[in-house]
Amino acid sequence: MTATMARSERRTGAGPSAFQTFLSRHGGMMPTFAAVLILLLLFVGAEAFLRGDFISGGNISALLLDNAYLMVLAVGMTFVILTGGIDLSVGSVMAFTGILGAKLLADGLPAAIAVPAMLLGGAAIGLFIGILVQYFGVQPFIASLAGLFLGRGLAFIVSLSSIRVEDTSLLWLQSERIWMGAWYITPTGIIALSTVAIAAFVLHLTRFGRTIYAIGGNEQSARLMGLKVGRAKVLAYVISGSCAGLAGLILTAYSGAGYPRNGIGTELDAIAAVVIGGTLLTGGRGYVVGSMIGVFVYGTIKSVINFMGAEQSWMQIIVGALLLLFIVVQRAIVARSEGRR
Amino acid sequence: MNALYKHRLFWPIASLLALIAINAIARPQFIKVTVRDGELYGALVTILKDSAPLMLVALGMTIVIATRGIDLSVGAIMAVSGAVALTIIDGSGSPDNLATVLIAVVVALLVALILGAWNGLLVTVLGIQPIVATLVLMLAGRGAALLITGGEITTVNSAPFKWMSGGYLVALPVAFLIGLLAITIMGLIERRTALGVLTEAVGINPEASRLAGVRARGIIWGAYMVSGILAGVAGLIYASRISAADANAAGVFIELYAILAVVLGGTSLNGGKFSIAGTVVGVFIIQTLDSTILFLGIPSAQSPVFFGFVVAIVVVVQSPRVRTALGSLGGRRRSRGTSGPSTDTVEVAR
């Protein structure tokens, strides 16, 4: 991304219209650039007005640590939104897999069984939603709503109260810190970043990934082109479900316990992060790296609010306002590109 | 008999009656209604009373869905309206004064109306997808409600305000009567004037209805305002029931239950044809199911599993694939109108 930005600057020097050419060619990237810009502004603003050590290794590392689960959720959500769908179930699936893992570990099962069970649990609910969407023509909103209810109820069936995790290998994911100067990263952070990397690879360099974009662009055309639309669409929901399972693992390691009330409303945070990161909710346009930036924007606002000691209610208002801003920007971009066509 | 079977409300009403029958067999006192001091009591009356907030929200949601929209912000609007009303009553110093309560109610409803108008503005003027447009308020609204109450749960002891949820009028709970009033008004406006037909026209094909001279913008905008104000009333009833403005708990998940009620009542989420009677039945199904789950001794926290399965079964039964399969099984049953290629084209047009 930085490479493309640098290239754009060089071209601007070459000719007066180069910048416009770049804009028209990469109009879809503009919202993501805007997200990067907002992130930088937030960083600089917080550094200048709030405290001197905001842009520091420790702080940025903590940002990744605190938001690792949301990043994994946002990656899964990006797949679904790119197909033009939506997945409301991720928050409760995360709670379900988290409490499921904690319960299995508390029953004395090793992590080698509990962790795959968590991922499979998430994938199963994703598969359920995907089948409803693809084979029964149910709208993604309603199908994933069923998944939301299912996940939340299952979480409470596993346990009505929180379960502490004593398993050392799971807690290690959170406690282990790999230091690089002032920076550190935990295994959960590595999981989150590699999820982003793998997703970016899959979306941009594999046939499946291009199919996802094609479905979001125009499902009918994708089908007529002979792409395996049905399989890809179901897979997108399975991926989102598995990501929710993984997020459950990360959150359980992070909080040291499984709790059936975790993640109420987290699906909205994930959707907001994806939209702020520049992915269009109509599908077909967007970048998984953008979703990562969106999560960082979200996390930074949260830590700024924490630092200012303001009420958490501001968080919801600011995220809502940012969401509105980005939607209007996206709307303008879509209207422009449609007008050109 | 065949005509009865084909009626669009056949399945919703049949499921509601089945639910009530199961309950009545499992516990005979379920259908018993007693009169005490000229007021009705009993499990069924409780269901009528408790269903009021969901009923109001679902009615508004029906109209919004008919225009091909969706309103996710109703829960947040409930929270805001409750917060506004209770903050005014709390701040007035005379919570039992009828005038104070009336002012609080009017102001809260005005705020709800403005919030609904804001949703309508985003959807009609800016052309933002309804899911996203109302998501903004869904996120920000609850935060605003928390700010209004100062981050606390404002509690109030006001007899006139409490009357909204706990009072009785001509032997019936006031909350139910408010719901009934809303049903009647909506039914009259939508079905005794052309507005209902115009709303369906907008939902079925916005472009065609615009060419036919229907002012789609005003109709859609109005739908969101109606949804907003009804959610505002629902928020007041909720706040009155618990005598407090709890911005975090008011109307949580109600948008989902309201959408479920609308779908259960046979209104398609693709917009167009809607049924107010269907929504009313859908609300009662949900409320009865809720009461059943409670009766079975299942912790209410676990009840979402049941709703998850109910949603899944209902949508699968309604899906084109299953309808076609059922249609071919039953010979010459209608399958044209509901299935067919229409769903695909709708997606593209959106």
**Between chain A and chain B, how many beta carbons pairs sit less than 8 Å apart?**
145
**CATH number, residue B218:** 1.10.3470
Query: Could you report the per-residue pLDDT of B92-133, keeping only the tens digit for each?
Result: 777 778 888 888 899 999 999 999 999 999 988 888 888 888
Answer for the pair A118, A101: CB distance below 8 angstroms, yes or no.
yes
Bigger pLDDT: A49 vs A70: A70
Q: Decide the pairing of beta strands B244-245 and B154-155.
A: antiparallel
A260 close to B (CB below 8 A):
yes
Q: Is the pLDDT confidence value at A50 over 80?
A: no
What CA–CA distance (Å, rounded) separates A95 from A73? 12
Question: Which pLDDT score, from 0 to 100, does residue A26 have?
Answer: 66
For residue B125, the tally of other CB atoms under 10 A from its CB is: 10
Bigger pLDDT: B219 vs B333: B219
Q: Is B36 helix (H, G, I), strand (E, B) or coil?
A: strand
Length of chain A: 341
**How many domains does the structure of chain B reveal?**
1
Residue A234: pLDDT band by 50, 70, 90 thresholds?
Answer: very high
Answer for the pair A82, A212: CB distance below 8 angstroms, yes or no.
yes
Nearest to A63 by CA among A333, A310, A262, A296: A296
Question: Which pLDDT score, from 0 to 100, does residue A338 have?
Answer: 62
Q: Is A162 helix (H, G, I), strand (E, B) or coil?
A: coil
The reply to whether B277 falls in a domain is yes
Query: Could you report the per-residue pLDDT of B19-74, keeping only the tens digit for each?
Result: 888 888 888 877 777 777 777 777 788 888 888 999 999 999 999 999 988 898 99
Comparing CB atoms, the residue among B139, B256, B347 nearest residue A323 is B139
Question: Which pLDDT score, from 0 to 100, does residue A319 have?
Answer: 79
User: Of B87-91, B211-215, B221-225, which one has max mean pLDDT?
Assistant: B221-225
Comparing CB atoms, the residue among A147, A154, A331 nearest residue B126 is A331
Q: Which residue has the tokens 């009804």?
A: B230
A124 close to B (CB below 8 A):
no
Mean per-residue pLDDT for A26-40? 76
What CA–CA distance (Å, rounded) separates B30 from B20? 8
pTM above 0.90, yes or no: no
Q: Is the pLDDT confidence value at A23 over 80?
A: no
A167 DSSP 8-state letter: -
Length of chain B: 350
- Predicted complex ipTM: 0.72
Residue B166: pLDDT band by 50, 70, 90 thresholds?
Answer: confident
Q: Does domain A42-340 have CATH number 1.10.3450?
A: no
Q: Is B35 left (phi over 0), alpha (psi -120 to 50) or beta?
A: beta
CA A17 from chain centre, in angstroms, equals 35
What part of A 33-72 touches B (C-beta under 8 Å)? none
Query: Could you report the per-residue pLDDT of A321-332, keeping only the tens digit for each?
Result: 888 887 787 777
Q: Kindly give, in sequence order, each residue whose CB lies less than 8 Å from that of residue B53, ignoring residues fewer than 6 positions away.
A: B78, B175, B234, B235, B237, B238, B251, B254
Residue spans of the domains in chain A: they are 42-340
What part of B 196-235 touches A (C-beta under 8 Å)? none
Query: Could you report the per-residue pLDDT of A153-208, keeping only the tens digit for each?
Result: 899 988 888 888 887 777 887 777 888 877 888 888 999 999 999 999 999 999 99
Question: Which pLDDT score, from 0 to 100, does residue A160 have?
Answer: 85
Q: Is the pLDDT confidence value at B238 over 60?
A: yes
Comparing CB atoms, the residue among B131, B299, B343 nearest residue A141 is B131
What CA–CA distance (Å, rounded) separates B32 from B24? 9
Question: Are the beta carbons of B319 and A143 separated by less than 8 Å?
Answer: no
- Distances from the Cα of A192 to the Cαs of A74, A134, B317, in angstroms? 10, 29, 39
Q: Which residue has the tokens 């509105």?
A: A324
Query: Could you report the per-residue pLDDT of B240-263, keeping only the tens digit for each?
Result: 888 887 877 777 788 888 988 898
Question: Are the beta carbons of A218 and B348 separated by less than 8 Å?
Answer: yes
The reply to whether B316 falls in a domain is no
Answer for the pair B65, B134: CB distance below 8 angstroms, yes or no.
no
What share of chain A in percent tops pLDDT 90? 33
Q: Is the pLDDT confidence value at B199 over 80?
A: yes
Residue span of the structural domain in which B157 resides:
2-296
The string over A195-208, giving b where at least 16 C-beta atoms fall within 10 Å of a residue's C-beta and e elsewhere, is bbeebbebbeeeeb
Q: Is the pLDDT confidence value at B217 over 90?
A: no
Q: What angle do CA B311, B317, B320 make, to 5 degrees?
A: 120
Answer for the pair B112, B80: CB distance below 8 angstroms, yes or no.
yes
B329 close to A (CB below 8 A):
no
> Which tokens is A316 given?
């919801």
Q: Which residue has the tokens 């979480």?
A: A155
- Distances from the Cα of B144 to the Cαs of A121, A300, A312, A340, B109, in angstroms? 36, 21, 11, 40, 16
Mean per-residue pLDDT for A87-101? 93
The reply to whether B339 falls in a domain is no
- The string of DSSP letters for A277-329 reads TT--TTSS---HHHHHHHHHHHHHHHHHHHHHT--THHHHHHHHHHHHHHHHH
B296 close to A (CB below 8 A):
no
For residue A61, the tally of other CB atoms under 10 A from its CB is: 20
Bigger pLDDT: A337 vs B301: B301
A311 close to B (CB below 8 A):
yes
Residue A242: pLDDT band by 50, 70, 90 thresholds?
Answer: very high
Question: Which pLDDT score, from 0 to 100, does residue A283 have?
Answer: 82
Helix or strand holding residue A174 (H, E): helix A168-175
